[in-house]
Structure 1
């Protein structure tokens, strides 16, 4: 019974999403919406689909939001270019404004390398901690058949004698 309700809810949700998507698709095709979007929607969708697997379908909401996001990105870059003191915008100004976006992949790769390196260090530290714990008891005496100093041997003998008396 519960499975039937879950299936019905899933179907209803899917139907709502499909109808909402159809409405958005019609809205995107209208001339008014095309004027409002920063870029021609067909071109944005073509670029998007060129990088996706052929079996992927793109919802209308994704198409619209990607177009709007790209417009916002162009605005940010334009504001950065506008900080240039010169009246003519050169390619150098564009490259300077887009540099942080171009370096995102490099930053992500560097982050992964650093995390990997720190995990190796952490592993080495854990091994060293285990070695120290295996090598020394609470009193600071050496274990594993290693010879104790004369003072440490006397102290260990005294502790054993006390334990035997009790």
Structure 2
């Protein structure tokens, strides 16, 4: 089995450590064919490593530059992402909000099946509350403007 090792950019600083622990926790809870599975992890006071299966066909972001809109794999990728998010929001024992969905966080396995990864910004939803509020986060430039506007952060 080929593996990929992800090393924390921030080391084990307070942000890096919370990001690392969040990813380990979410990947321990959420197991689905369209979610990147965590094989193992290792920490030292200064380094955090996550071990995943190697995704032979890289990520969706890599392929979007080369694909034509009518290319049939796009339908398959969209379906895989929808299955992953449906599982996280509806079927997982503890409901999870990913909070950073983008092409770079969707990988493709050897059969070009979409696999959602990168759970460092994920958040568990409290199902006892009637509504869930979470701070806006994600990759800058990829957050829907209507979300920012509703939060009163953006002024037009």
Shorter-chain TM-score: what band?
Answer: under 0.3
Which structure: greater helix fraction?
Answer: 1
Which structure carries more relative contact order (alpha carbon 8 Å, separation 6+)?
2
Structure with greater Cα Rg: 1
Task: Give the TM-score taking structure 2 as reference length.
Answer: 0.23
